[in-house]
Structure formats: C-alpha cells, structure tokens
Amino acid sequence: MNKYELTEESFNNLIKWLGSNKDSGEKYEEIRFKLIKYFSWNGCRNAEELADEAINIVASKLPQLTEDYTGDPALYFLGVARKLAKKQSPHNQYVPLSPDLKAEDNSEENSRVVKLEKCREECLQKLPERKQKLIRLYYQKGGEHNEDFRESLAAEKNMKSGALRVAVYRIRQELKECFDKCKKKEQSF
C-alpha cells in the first residue's frame, strides 16, 4: 500500500507532539477530519486513505520534526497533504456521480455518499452562473501546473491572483453554508 506504516510507538509519539494528553486526541481527530476535507475538496476519490497516509508520513518524520519544526503541527500536515494531492494520477481524481445514479445496494454508506453528492450539486446550482463557472474553472486543473493556470485565469478575469483567491474563498464559504444547511435538513449525516 504505502511505505509509511503507523506503529503504536510512532502513533504515541505523534500524540505527544500534538500537545498535552488531554487535548492531543481531539487535535489528532480534528487534523484527520481537515485532511479528509482537503483531499475531498481537491477531487481525490480516496480522501480517507490519503489522510491516513499523510498522518503516517508525518509520524515517520517525527524524530527530525521535534528537533527542527516550530509552529502549528496542523500546517505541517497540510503541507504533506498538498504534496500527496499533487502526486495523484488522473485515475484517482474525483469523478462526479451521474444524476440518475441509483444505489445498487441499500448500504448506509452508499446512501450517505449519494445524499452528499446531491447536496453538493444542489448548492452549486444555487450559485449564480458566473460564480459556478469561476469555481469550476478554478479547480479544473490539478497538479504542478495549477498555479500557472490560476495566474492565467486571474489575468483573463482582469483580476490580481490574490483577488481571485479571495473571490473563490467567498464562493467556497457560500457553498459550505449551503452544504451545512443541506446536511442538517437530511438529518442522516
């Protein structure tokens, strides 16, 4: 699978690195959840596996990290996640579900995924067309050419790259609000 395996000792060291024993378990869960969200929003199909791999990589580097790294550990995890997301090949990228997709089995997880996809699509459709186009264009290209593409997109829209990032951030916030409301409405998430 991957060359970084999380042993009991490395996991315990990771928990210690994250902070006091009382808070470190919660911090670990919070970081893992944020990594899963990061990979999901970046179109990776196997978000949970990638989050675990990122955690394993960080845990394997702990001896050096504890000596050299200062700052919020969550930011280091994010840096590792960015590198993993860039490595993803096209066959690991997100493939949207077709609107007429029916769950082949009645498993709870399959039903949950279909509902999440429905919420995501509904929220995208509620956006004005120009915002839909912008958010889709912004995330359309992945990998190492992403920054160059986004620079050209900003120029095409007569915006500075920072203004483009802010505009996309605001659209993501709108989507998140809508998505959260949709999830509450479904009650089964």
> What local confidence, expressed as pLDDT, does residue 138 receive?
81
CB atoms within 10 A of CB 130: 9
Is the pLDDT confidence value at 145 over 70?
A: no
Is the pLDDT confidence value at 5 over 80?
A: no
Q: Specify the range with the lowest mean pLDDT, choosing from 76-85, 115-124, 158-167.
A: 115-124
Quote the CA–CA distance of 20 and 25 in Å, as a whole number.
Answer: 9
- What value, to the nearest 5°, has the Cα angle with vertex 80 and ends 79 and 83? 90
Q: Span 99-106, mean pLDDT?
A: 45
Q: 93 has which bridge partners?
A: 44
Q: Specify the range with the lowest mean pLDDT, choosing from 37-51, 70-84, 92-106, 125-139.
A: 92-106
On average, the pLDDT of the chain sits at: 78
Quote the CA–CA distance of 140 and 142 in Å, as a whole number.
Answer: 7
| Percentage, residues of the chain above pLDDT 70 | 79
pLDDT digits (tens, 9 = 90+) for 69-86: 888 888 889 889 988 888
Give the Å distances, CA to CA, from 148 to 38, 110, 122, 152, 158. 21, 37, 30, 6, 15
> What local confidence, expressed as pLDDT, does residue 170 receive?
92
Q: Which residues of 39-49 are buried (b: 16+ CB within 10 A; e: fewer)?
A: bbebbbeebee
Longest dimension (CA), the chain: 53
Quote the CA–CA distance of 164 and 64 in Å, as a whole number.
Answer: 37
Q: Which residue has the tokens 């196997």?
A: 46
Is the pLDDT confidence value at 104 over 50?
A: no
The architecture (CATH level 2) of 108-186 comes to: Orthogonal Bundle (1.10)
Q: Specify the range with the lowest mean pLDDT, choosing from 48-62, 118-132, 142-156, 175-189.
A: 142-156
Q: 13 has which bridge partners?
A: none
Quote the CA–CA distance of 4 and 123 in Å, as a whole number.
Answer: 37
Quote the CA–CA distance of 66 and 79 in Å, as a whole number.
Answer: 16
pLDDT digits (tens, 9 = 90+) for 30-73: 898 889 888 888 777 788 889 999 999 999 888 888 888 888 88
86, two tokens: 């860039």
